[in-house]
Structure 1
Amino acid sequence: MAGRESTSPASRSALANRPLPPTFTSIQDALNGDLAAKGSLVNMIGVVRDIRPPIPTMKKDWKCTMTIFDKSTDDENTGINLSVFRPEKELPSPGYLDVVLIMSVKVQNYRSEISLLSNFKTQILVYSASAIPMPPTPANDALKSHTGPKAKQPGDEEQVYVSWLYHAVNKDTLPDANEFEEQANRSLNIKEKFSLLKDVGDGGFYDLIVEVIKDPHDLLDKVSMWVTDYTENKYFFNHSWDTSNADPGRDGDPYGYTSAFQNPTMRAWPGPFGRHCLQLTCWEPHAGHLRSQVRAGKWIRMRNLQIKYGRNGGNLEGFLREDRAHPSRLGFEVLELSDFSEDADPRVKEAIKRKLEYNKKFKQQKAALTGSKDLKAIGAKRKGKGEPAMLNSKQRRKLQRAQNEQKVEKQQAQKAELLGLNKQVTCESEDQPISPLDRILDGVSWKRNGINGEEHVALPFTNVKFRANVRVVDFRPRRLEDFAAGRKVTEFDCLSDYDGGSGSESEGQGGTLDSFAAPKSWEWRFALELEDASPKGKGEKAERMWALVDNYEAQQLTNMDAVNLHEDPDQLSQLREQLFKLWGNLEECKRSEYDAHLESIRRANALEPPPDSSDNEGVQGGPNQPKGHRSMTKVSNKPFTCCLQQYGLEIPESDPMKCDAGEGKRYQRVFKLFGTRVR
């Protein structure tokens, strides 16, 4: 590799000072910190002074890092780091003193250092140092690579600035080409320090991903805190579940001087119990940031943490001191909720999974120790029996099945034509026959041989699926704005098999101000009352049933993701249009009924006479309509074909004779809509 090309001071002074092109930002402006606080996207032009070649990450991408500087920082011999995350073939590969033109890059404050971070919009143009001409000639011919989207190409002003910057900056303080290459090679020889707590040992330095168990304890010039990753190490302190056996000096007060002044309930160990937790002592500059940024329940990523035996000589502890090479660099990073997505670092996901498994196991053990019978053993749901096997031969069954299918298809086609089904609503399993609601709602019994002969035992529910022709006659909640419900986002959401249940919540953890201010995940949650659309005889009443619509099925039904509908009128309007295709003017009718009901209440309270009967002419409303009230608008909608699933829920039951789901519980049969979509 060639030696460093140096532009003499006389040559640099001969170059008239040139302003940055419009929309571009100097490196010094970025280092001031204001842009990082806002997470701004900026455009920059800089000269490469250092590069760390690509390395694979825990995800699918690779990472390369380079340090660039420009005219605003060359006198101070400083620069700014740029981290690029992309597939290996899409990473830039700048060389010694190459100039990079970067568009739409994020300015961030990472580990107390200002740096640049690429995103999917970031464009990186690399200009070969050996081919950059003297200004005012533009550097178009020196462009050797362009990574990222090519939505916007730099103009002549930017190309001329590339030429000017390369020849105007001071290169005298930079390492030569050989040193540049040696530094790049050394950056690849980084030892992997990540470890689980169960594998750490005396005298080692480790990177960890851990959860903070208790708020950091302030010791003036340092802080002390407890962390865990839900693995066990036999050299950690043993925290007993019985808090009366807890060591009085394990909270940053090694000799128990303040124990007499502390509330006993505040000193109770929150768990996990056993040898799962490591005590840390952290000095400045880490201590101040830990006091302000970290609380119990936060997950953090720690780097270069020293592990050795503590003052008692019997248990391992962690120690985090100042990095002498980089005094302002922090040795920890707080993992935010955005880090707990499904494509998060697999090591983070594994730690969250271990926490979930520990919580479940601890609740079971606690119930066994305290004699509690509230925790029911987890078991598979009972499933309904299928139709009894036919006694015909295999060939005859096949023939009869084909004949039945043809007959059913013909009947369904005739019924669909007669009913005028809504073609804007489709559902899956079109080869399945249509079932009337009265058959779906019929109970199922199981035959068994008893003492007195054959007995029929009624099953509380069966796990079966149906197709039916129905129309919507009511819905809950009453307002569309309430069809989406919000819940607090937790770290368990990154687990694909997590169902959002309460089993992962910490016991005794009530609602706090932070829980109300925390980010929320919005999910669909509503129910539809369906009426059988099959023709009935004169005087016969059509069967009705309620069907739940959960978040996933509502996404498929509406082709929309749940949001806060109270604050997003555009999404609310789109939802109203989608559901109008499903139920016609039903919402308008229900709103009219409810408004009229409120008006009647107001008149009754004001002792006013009711309006003329002609004002209320129309058809009778739904079953939940107030007594004596008549709808002012007739419901008009088309029937449609949908898929329904029957299943069972466990609910509390005080009558022991009805407890078919265990002690104090019984099964309740419910139905839900699935596999149905509004086009």
Structure 2
Amino acid sequence: MASREAPSPASRGVSANKPLPPTFKSIQDVLNGEGVAKGTLVSVIGVVRDLRRPIPTRNSGGSNHGRGPARRADQSSLTANIDWKCVMTLCDKSIDDENTAQNGATGIELHLFCPQNAMPEVGFRDVVLIKSAKVQDYRFGTSLLSNYRTAIYVYSASAIPMPPKSAKDALKPRPGSKASHVEDDEHEYVSWMYHSMNKDSLPEADVFEEQANRSLNVRDKFSLLKDVGDGGFYDLIVEVIKDPYDLLDKATVWVTDYTENKHFYHHSWDISNAESGRDGDPYGYTTAFENPTTKGWPGPYGKQCLQLTCYEPHASPLRSQVRAGGYIRLRNLQIKYGRNGGNLEGYLREDRAYPSRLGFDVIQKSEFTEDADSRLKDLLKRKLEYKKKLKQQKEAFAGLENTKAVGAKRKDNGESATKPNAKQRRKIQRAQRDQEVQKEKTQKAESLGLNKQVRCESEDQPVSSFDRILNGVSWRRTRENGEEEHLALPFTNIKFRANVRVVDFRPRRLEDFAAGRKMSEYDCLEDYDGGSASGSDGQSETLDSFAGPKTWEWRFALELEDASPKAKGEKPERIWALVDNIEAQQLVNLDAVDLQANQEQLSQLREQLFKLWGNLEECKRHEYDAHLESIRRTKLHMPPPDSSDNEIEENGPEQAGRRPPDKVSNKPFTCCLQQYGLEISEADPTKCDSGEGKRYQRVFKIFGTAVR
């Protein structure tokens, strides 16, 4: 459509210039960041250039129509009933003026989230006055985002009078209500701005309506990589495998969501990069631009990765903002067979309707929360499972599972699985005897007076004594010459219930029962235990690995004494049992925090543990303080204090009449314990039962136990 020359403001009876109302900013200043920082709230006035009509977001239970997730990093600023989204582009005099507009800016986008019944009615060339919208970087561009403080006022274009008359009567009724209101000078500025702008660059009414209505003709195109096919357009959430590769007019990058597609290129585990002759380019597209200093393929292996080619305007931000290990959302990605005709590839090209719109955005670290996109959580679960499976495969390849092969060979040589052999019969007889003994011990345990405030799972299982658990288990086998050989097992993987009482704990102070560690991308997964799935990659920990935001986890151990009935004069056995983060949460019914800085949580922990171990902490604190005092007096060559002085020093003059407890007083309780083995270093070759320089150590942990 040919442009027409617009009459000047003076010819229309409009003054050449009028200052913005106080607290308002021009759109060009917001885009340039002049006096406006990201994350701050601003007020602007602009004419609607284009509109994407309201659509339901995923948070509403409807489709998000490919517009991206409803949950965002700043979601805390939105109310719980927000479930619709509208996007409009606004322009003002600063954009209209060729002398002030920079970088070819055509306007600024407003992303409005609110309930459907509160959405404002916006039409062709209407003027929108916005108060307290948040400035954000979204898809590598500056835009405005609504929040609970945002107030929006829409003026009907056809009803705006010529200045100096006020545009107050053109104000459309508002579906919702806000505390703020429009001043008289703001109404007057709306009239002046609307009639002083050159509107030739704005679309005509029919084009505006066509584009607005077309924004509703969308569908949810989200897909996993395993389901993409030739000729389709898809929305994806993926992890970046390697840094983008610069090809001047475009850029390529490898991505994955840890699902397998039989039409993808197969990355072999046992073929090195040197043998393949290419780095991230199996088809030889970039032979002239190969970088011989880059490392080989980092995985995942198999047919789980897609090569993506991005053209402008996507290529430049891809090179500058995307790195290996990051996560991105892709929109309207074309999938088709590459130049070799054998493998699917992805292509991201310019959007003809919206040339400046990017087809991807980077998922920020702040989005990895409990409220993260469920599709992102699913990707992380698949990644975690892949890491575990890969580690197992590497261990099997290295020969660490030879025992399974030996067992399989023995079964193939003719051992019967239907009729018990001599070894199995002896095992059955021992189990019967143990059951009879256990029955007698259970009857005796009823008189122990167990702590009813502590409960554990599997109450139908018999209670085991420590002496039975701690006795070494041997494995008998018959050699080829007929001799019977007994092999002592360093540990057994068993779970059992026991009657115990707590007699000691580590660390010494309750404040140290919770430890901080650097946050991980897997923390948003409900069943993640804080371990490193990629700990086998050979990377060492540095100071940088502990920097940044921390998450807190329970980490302590309890010394348990067997409370089962004993013969007169028999000393009960003791073991140390670890309590990891998940089991500690169940045990004390509290989440781990920085106990040094949270005294209220520390008091709650002390109260819960008092139910578990009685006055144990008080006794241990008195014992530890007395030990430190003894060391101090020894260093200063001071004589031991008499009883009265000692009492005053330890308790203060006002507490001199109260003596610390002399004996631990607590009730036994029933808990669930698990025995397992840890591989540790060993200098004595005669003790190495887990390979050269290694041996197994038997350890215990508490599980399935809770203080009510």
Q: What TM-score bracket applies, with the shorter chain setting the length? A: 0.5 to 0.7
Answer yes or no: is the 8 Å Cα contact 1:12–1:169 preserved in 2.
Answer: no
Q: Work out the CA distance in 1 between the residues paired with 2:706 and 2:342.
A: 60
State the AA in 2 paired with 1:649: Y
Secondary structure class of the residue paired with 1:146: coil
Q: Which residue of 2 aligns with 1:489?
A: 519
State the AA in 2 paired with 1:357: E
Q: Which residue of 2 aligns with 1:454?
A: none
Answer yes or no: is the 8 Å Cα contact 1:444–1:461 preserved in 2.
Answer: no
Q: Work out the CA distance in 1 between the residues paired with 2:455 and 2:118.
A: 44
Q: Work out the CA distance in 2 between the residues paired with 1:386 and 1:64.
A: 68
What's the offset of the Cα at 1:270?
1.8
Q: Give the counterpart of 1:64 among 78, 85, 96.
A: 85
Q: Work out the CA distance in 2 between the residues paired with 1:634 and 1:7.
A: 94
Q: Give the counterpart of 1:581 among 582, 586, 607.
A: 607
Q: Which residue of 1 aligns with 2:702?
A: 671
Answer yes or no: is the 8 Å Cα contact 2:675–2:699 preserved in 1.
Answer: yes
Secondary structure class of the residue paired with 1:272: coil
Distance 1:509 1:227, change over 3 A: farther
Please give the TM-score of this superposition, normalised by the length of structure 2: 0.65
Q: Which residue of 2 aligns with 1:55?
A: 55
Q: Work out the CA distance in 1 between the residues paired with 2:242 and 2:212.
A: 41
Q: Work out the CA distance in 1 between the residues paired with 2:631 and 2:512.
A: 24
Answer yes or no: is the 8 Å Cα contact 1:340–1:493 preserved in 2.
Answer: yes
State the AA in 1 paired with 2:607: K
Answer yes or no: is the 8 Å Cα contact 1:232–1:276 preserved in 2.
Answer: yes
Distance 1:145 1:464, change over 3 A: farther
State the AA in 2 paired with 1:189: N
Does 1:479 pair with 2:517? no
Q: Give the counterpart of 2:532 among 502, 506, 511.
A: 502
Does 1:168 pair with 2:195? no
Does 1:355 pair with 2:383? yes
Does 1:214 pair with 2:271? no
Q: 90-99 or 104-113: which moved more?
A: 90-99
Q: Work out the CA distance in 1 between the residues paired with 2:241 and 2:497.
A: 46
What's the offset of the Cα at 1:537?
14
Q: 55-64 or 590-599: which moved more?
A: 590-599
What's the offset of the Cα at 1:649?
3.4
Secondary structure class of the residue paired with 1:169: helix
What's the offset of the Cα at 1:387?
14
Q: Work out the CA distance in 2 between the residues paired with 1:539 and 1:64.
A: 76
State the AA in 1 paired with 2:191: H
What's the offset of the Cα at 1:185?
1.0
Does 1:520 pair with 2:554? no
Answer yes or no: is the 8 Å Cα contact 2:155–2:167 preserved in 1.
Answer: no
What's the offset of the Cα at 1:188?
1.0
Q: Which residue of 2 aligns with 1:450?
A: none
Q: Work out the CA distance in 1 between the residues paired with 2:129 and 2:113.
A: 17
Q: Work out the CA distance in 2 between the residues paired with 1:531 and 1:35.
A: 67
State the AA in 2 paired with 1:31: L
State the AA in 1 paired with 2:508: R
Q: Which residue of 2 aligns with 1:3?
A: none
State the AA in 2 paired with 1:336: Q
The count of aligned residue pairs is 592
Deviations 1:380-425 (A, max 9, x none): xxxxx999999xxxxxxxxxxxxx9xxx9xx99xx89xx9x9xxxx
What's the offset of the Cα at 1:109?
0.9
Secondary structure class of the residue paired with 1:647: strand
Matches within 5 A, 1:253-332: 254=285, 262=292, 267-321=295-349, 328-332=356-360
Q: Give the counterpart of 1:111 among 119, 130, 139.
A: 139
Does 1:644 pair with 2:671? yes
Answer yes or no: is the 8 Å Cα contact 1:532–1:543 preserved in 2.
Answer: yes
What's the offset of the Cα at 1:273?
1.8
Q: Which residue of 1 aligns with 2:30?
A: 30
Please give the TM-score of this superposition, normalised by the length of structure 1: 0.68
Q: 293-302 or 75-84: which moved more?
A: 75-84
Answer yes or no: is the 8 Å Cα contact 2:243–2:323 preserved in 1.
Answer: yes
What's the offset of the Cα at 1:241?
1.4
Structure 2 unaligned spans of 5+ = 1-6, 62-69, 71-82, 98-104, 406-430, 437-442, 471-488, 651-657
Q: Which residue of 2 aligns with 1:449?
A: none
Q: Work out the CA distance in 2 between the residues paired with 1:99 and 1:440.
A: 80
Answer yes or no: is the 8 Å Cα contact 2:579–2:702 preserved in 1.
Answer: no
Does 1:94 pair with 2:94? no
Secondary structure class of the residue paired with 1:671: strand
Secondary structure class of the residue paired with 1:348: helix
Q: Work out the CA distance in 1 between the residues paired with 2:499 and 2:186.
A: 67
Distance 1:483 1:105, change over 3 A: farther
Secondary structure class of the residue paired with 1:115: strand
Matches within 5 A, 1:160-239: 160=184, 163-170=187-194, 173=199, 174-175=202-203, 179-190=207-218, 192-202=220-230, 204-219=232-247, 222-239=250-267
Q: Work out the CA distance in 2 between the residues paired with 1:529 and 1:166.
A: 75
Q: Which residue of 1 aligns with 2:278?
A: 249
Q: Which residue of 2 aligns with 1:612?
A: 641
What's the offset of the Cα at 1:277?
2.1
What's the offset of the Cα at 1:427?
6.1
What's the offset of the Cα at 1:301?
1.9
Distance 1:286 1:79, change over 3 A: closer
Answer yes or no: is the 8 Å Cα contact 1:25–1:43 preserved in 2.
Answer: yes
Q: Work out the CA distance in 2 between the residues paired with 1:18 and 1:635.
A: 82
Answer yes or no: is the 8 Å Cα contact 1:200–1:307 preserved in 2.
Answer: yes
Q: Which residue of 2 aligns with 1:75?
A: 96
State the AA in 1 paired with 2:40: S
Matches within 5 A, 1:410-559: 443=468, 463=495, 474-503=504-533, 505=535, 507-511=537-541, 515-517=545-547, 519-528=549-558, 548-552=578-582, 554-555=584-585
Answer yes or no: is the 8 Å Cα contact 2:505–2:559 preserved in 1.
Answer: yes
Q: Work out the CA distance in 1 between the residues paired with 2:699 and 2:529.
A: 20
RMSD: 5.5
Q: Work out the CA distance in 2 between the residues paired with 1:375 and 1:17.
A: 86
Q: Which residue of 2 aligns with 1:395?
A: none
Q: Percent identity at matched positions?
A: 49
Distance 1:427 1:386, change over 3 A: farther
Answer yes or no: is the 8 Å Cα contact 1:307–1:318 preserved in 2.
Answer: yes
Q: Work out the CA distance in 1 between the residues paired with 2:621 and 2:11.
A: 82
Answer yes or no: is the 8 Å Cα contact 2:241–2:255 preserved in 1.
Answer: yes
Q: Work out the CA distance in 2 between the residues paired with 1:574 and 1:636.
A: 28
What's the offset of the Cα at 1:300?
1.7
Q: Work out the CA distance in 2 between the residues paired with 1:282 and 1:141.
A: 44
Secondary structure class of the residue paired with 1:352: helix
Q: Work out the CA distance in 2 between the residues paired with 1:135 and 1:632.
A: 87
Distance 1:364 1:75, change over 3 A: same
Q: Work out the CA distance in 2 between the residues paired with 1:368 and 1:461.
A: 20
Q: Work out the CA distance in 2 between the residues paired with 1:461 and 1:228.
A: 37
Q: Work out the CA distance in 2 between the residues paired with 1:427 and 1:12.
A: 85
